[in-house]
Amino acid sequence: MSRLMMILFSMISTTLMGIGIIIALVTGHDTLQPIVVAAAIGFVLALPVAWYVAKQIES
């Protein structure tokens, strides 16, 4: 499952980081710190999401 999870993680993390950055920009937070924080949150949230999706695909 780890190989599948890593492949999914690369796609899911990019998507979630992009969503976070867009939300930060739309809400008016256009400086570096909120954008980096939003990207970091997306990166961290992608780990359990990728694990869950990989688990569902394999079962």
Contact between 35 and 29 under an 8 Å Cβ cutoff? The reply is yes
Low-confidence ranges of the chain (pLDDT < 50): none
Q: What is the DSSP letter of 31?
A: S
Q: How far apart are CA 22 and CA 20, in angstroms?
A: 5
Q: What is the DSSP letter of 30?
A: -
What integer pLDDT is reported at residue 25 of this predicted model? 97
Distance CA 56, CA 49 (A): 11
Residue carrying the six token digits 């999870």: 5
Quote the pLDDT of residue 39: 97
One-letter amino acid at 51 equals: W
What pLDDT sits at residue 59?
Answer: 84
Separation between Cα atoms, residue 37 and residue 43, nearest integer Å: 10
